[in-house]
Chains A and B, each alone.
Chain A
Amino acid sequence: MSAEVSTTVVDEKPPARGWPLQLKIGLLLTGTIVLLSLLAPSIAPHPWDTVSMRTRFLPPGPTYWLGTDEYGRDVLSRLLMGGRLSIAMGLGATIVSLLVGVPMGLAAGYFRGWVDETLMRLADVLMAVPPIMLGLLVLAVTPPSLWKTALAVGFVYIPLIARITRSVTLTLANEEFIQAARARSESNWYILFREILPNAWPPLLVEASLRVTYAILLGSALSFLGLGAQPPSSDWGLMIAEARSFIDRAPWIALAPGLAMCLLVIGINLLGDGLRERLDPRLKTRIGKR
């Protein structure tokens, strides 16, 4: 529909050898958060879901490092457990959109003609509504739960993945090795998944890593609106939504998941930008679609 807006900055510095700094910082941030979340059941200092009326609204202190919430639950433990949900949701959604979007893009870019036309017009229809509203619309149909949110978010981002895969496929389809495969009368299936896909993965990997952050942001927004994880779950979006009413009395309940999400998203963004630089030094940081 409209031109993808991307920025290419010609930097004076020659591309650094080895791993770019962004990639290192991104890996460190993301790795730490993912590791902490994975270990959450064993390292959480308190049970994440035990209600206790005597420990309500305790500010951060030596026993409860990040304070307690309106039901007396430890914010740190909830935060750690909730991280698992947010990360799983983001990854799950991205996998869904890759599983559907990549074959769509491969087919559209390789077969061209009516296949291309049909698939891309279909993508246009899905892209005619802002992502969050498409998500809302899909989720309005069923009782909310987190895996449905992941599915809906994945569904929303299918057209974007399909478009990128298509444009990569378009350039690859004219390469000599594809013509050679055709001359050997390989099957279309073989050409698409054994010849084109392995060569298309660098840009797809970068796109997928950035897509995870958008998926986390969109999924948490949907959770925040009540169409994702349900109480007593400690999904970060839901935690912030519940903490809203006590924001002036107990700001730590909302600030903790907010900052955590901030760090995670920045971490994955840096990771994606770093990957891009490593895989394709000509392209520099870009801000995609939310």
Chain B
Amino acid sequence: MTAFIARRLFFIVLVLVAVSMLVFGITALLPANVAYLILGPFAPPDQVRALEIKLGLTDPIWQQYLRWASSFLTGNLGESTLMNRPIGPMLTEAVGRSLMLTGASFVLIAVIGVGLGIVAALRHGKPLDHGVSIGTYLGIAVPEFFWAIIVILVFAAWLGWLPASGYEAPSEGLWIWLKHLIAPTITLVFGHLAHVSRLTRSSMIEVLQSPYVTAARAKGLPEHVVVLRHALRNALLPTITALALDFGRLMGGIVVVETIFAYPGLGRLIVFSIQNRDLPTLQAAILVVAAIYAAANLVADLLYARFNPKIRYGRNVS
């Protein structure tokens, strides 16, 4: 297991290095470079040229990459060209806020998704089962930005219960903080529920038909004990991996949701830096996302190995 983890970690580092090359390479294709962006569209060409030389933009691309990567490794993420702020603290703040959002959504997805899955499995083939299926189907068939608009329409415009957008720090008061978190969380949860609930449902149906559940019932155990203590334990196996993968997927979901709800997290920072051609911020933010994504995938693999006795990761890992 240790060897497996070590190999995966090494592989993750390799992938991150490759992603950093990809990010740097793509942004280097941009027609306007950093010097031009700093000085603005009306700067005289000789001044742009002078700044280009000062910033080292005339060096070969691999030299620029090495300089960027090495300063990145020493923890110096550089400065945002747009906001004239160091990127490090800005990014940390944004990641923190995004983790609040994804964390809350993740917990709800796990609890509601598994709950719905169990209920649907117990009512297998009945109207309730179909209702859950159709409801969660809608969740994935409709784009997140459309759900977000419906949530705003219902909870902010019509009912007036929640603010339509924005973010308040917990120091402003817990209730105010929570109120701003609810609408984007609902949107994210609804969009990602189907995966977990369907998986739980199908494995639960399978497990409930197995002989050991019949044995537990034959012993005269109450049904809730059979379901929650005997069946669920095995039925959750595939769900656990799916959940870890969903966390990575949530990192993609925040882009749209944070933009719509004007929630100042990582997703919005990325869109903002693209719209304003803030290259250093964009590069750093994408790398952070790739790192979180890789970590979620690693956790998924580890949980799979940990909980599934049939799988033992040995020499041959693909």
Contacts and interface: CB of A to CB of B under 8 A. Distances in A.
Interface of A: 1-3, 5, 7-10, 120, 124-126, 128-133, 136-141, 213, 217, 220-221, 224-227, 237, 240-241, 243-244, 247-248, 251, 254, 258, 261-262, 265-266, 269, 284-285, 287, 289-290
Given A141-B26, A226-B275, A133 B19 contact: no
B301 A130 contact: no
B271 A225 contact: yes
Nearest to B282: A140
B202 A9 contact: yes
B50 interface: no
Interface of B: 15-16, 18-19, 22-23, 26-27, 29-30, 137-138, 140-146, 149-150, 152-153, 157-158, 194-195, 198-199, 202-203, 205-206, 238, 241-242, 245, 248-249, 251-252, 255-256, 259-260, 270-271, 274-275, 277, 282, 286, 289-290, 293-294, 297, 300-301, 304, 318
A1 B153 contact: no
Nearest to B17: A125
23 contacts: A2-B300, A5-B241, A9-B205, A10-B206, A128-B290, A128-B294, A130-B252, A130-B255, A130-B289, A130-B293, A132-B252, A136-B271, A137-B286, A140-B26, A141-B29, A217-B143, A220-B145, A225-B255, A240-B149, A247-B153, A254-B149, A261-B143, A265-B142
B279 to A, nearest CB: 9
Contact of A140 (B30, B145, B146, B249): B30
B19 A7 contact: no
Contact of A221 (B16, B143, B149, B150): B143
B157 A5 contact: no
Contact of A136 (B15, B245, B274): B274
Given A5-B245, A125-B19, A130-B252, 9 more contacts: A1-B297, A125-B22, A128-B290, A137-B26, A244-B260, A248-B157, A248-B158, A290-B140, A290-B252
A133 B286 contact: yes
Given A248-B157, A254-B149, A261-B143, A131 B252 contact: yes
A128 B15 contact: yes
B165 to A, nearest CB: 11
B252 A258 contact: no
Contact of A141 (B30, B271, B275): B30
B307 to A, nearest CB: 12
B19 A5 contact: no
Nearest to A241: B145
Given A265-B141, A287-B195, A2 B15 contact: no
A240 B260 CA distance: 11
Contact of A287 (B140, B150, B152, B203): B140
Contact of B146 (A3, A226, A227, A240): A240
A287 B198 contact: yes
Residue of A1, A247, A284 contacting most chain B CB atoms (<10 Å): A1
Contact of B241 (A2, A130, A226, A244): A2
Q: Most A CB atoms within 10 A — which of B27, B205, B252, B286? A: B252
Most buried by A among B22, B146, B194, B199: B146
Nearest to A8: B202
A258 B30 contact: no
Which of B19, B27, B282 has the largest count of A CB atoms less than 10 A from its CB? B19
Contacts of A9: 202, 205-206
Given A9-B202, A132-B255, A141-B30, A244 B137 contact: no
Contacts of A247: 149, 152-153, 157
Given A125-B19, A136-B271, A290-B249, A224 B195 contact: no
Contacts of B260: 244
B199 A237 contact: no
Contacts of B198: 7, 285, 287
B274 to A, nearest CB: 4
A129 B289 contact: yes
A264 to B, nearest CB: 9
